[in-house]
Amino acid sequence: MTAIYIKNRLPSPKIDHKTPFKIVYKSKPSVKHMRVFGCRAFILTPREKRLKWDPKAREGMFMGYEEASKAYQVYDIEADQVVISRDITFDESTLGFSPRLPQAIVDDTALDIESMNISDEPHPMQFKQTGKRKSRSNSQEQVLQRTLLERRGTGLEEASAPDDSESHQAK
């Protein structure tokens, strides 16, 4: 019935490029509710039918529209049946559903991991960190020392480290 439903909302060249829906109902059909066939859909499980830690939705695949109501037909993957519901969230960018990997592929992956050279021996760490900040390398420390010496030579001094000689002269 989905094919007929869509066909009745498309313009037809035989009836002067009008839609059959417009001829019968004298109004333009709304297509805002239409979804991509076969896209991934999530069926909301009502609050009354789920426990505290149960998932709120089940994964499914959009199959079509319900004839008697404003609802969607979605194939529920877990239950292996078609469900009719209005509470559906669609992911139109993904077609179908992702099936589980066959056991042969899983076994091949396990063999690949086993053939890797992985050792349990600890490796030496390449970085040194103390507290919340990384420790400076020797070159960074030398640059800092040079800038401090240059500041003292030009008369610029840090405010956090007052010179003791000036405080003794004021007394």
| Over residues 115-133, mean pLDDT | 59
Question: Same domain for 77 and 94?
Answer: yes
Residue 116 domain-assigned (yes or no): no
> Which domain-ending residue is among 99, 121, 144?
99
> Which domain-ending residue is among 54, 73, 99?
99
> Residue 136 has which token pair?
């400076």
Average pLDDT, the chain: 76
For residue 28, give every residue at least 6 positions away whose Cβ sits within 8 Å of its Cβ, in sequence order, or none: 19, 22
Residue 87 domain-assigned (yes or no): yes
Over residues 38-61, the pLDDT tens digits come to 899 999 999 998 898 998 999 999
Domain that includes residue 3, residue range? 1-34
CA dihedral angle for residue 52, residue 53, residue 58, residue 59, rounded to 10 degrees: 160
Residue 52 domain-assigned (yes or no): yes
Starting at the earlier edge strand, list the strands of the sheet with 81-85: 81-85, 72-76, 57-65, 39-44, 88-95
> Which domain-ending residue is among 99, 118, 140?
99
Residue 26 domain-assigned (yes or no): yes
Question: Same domain for 62 and 16?
Answer: no
* DSSP structure string for 101-157: PPHHHHHHHHHHHHHS----SPPPPS--EETTEEPPPHHHHHHHHHHHHHHHHHT--
Question: Same domain for 69 and 93?
Answer: yes
Q: How many domains does the chain have?
A: 2
The model's confidence at residue 36, banded by pLDDT at 50, 70 and 90, is confident
Q: What percent of the chain clears pLDDT 70, i.e. is strictly above it?
A: 58
pTM of the model: 0.48
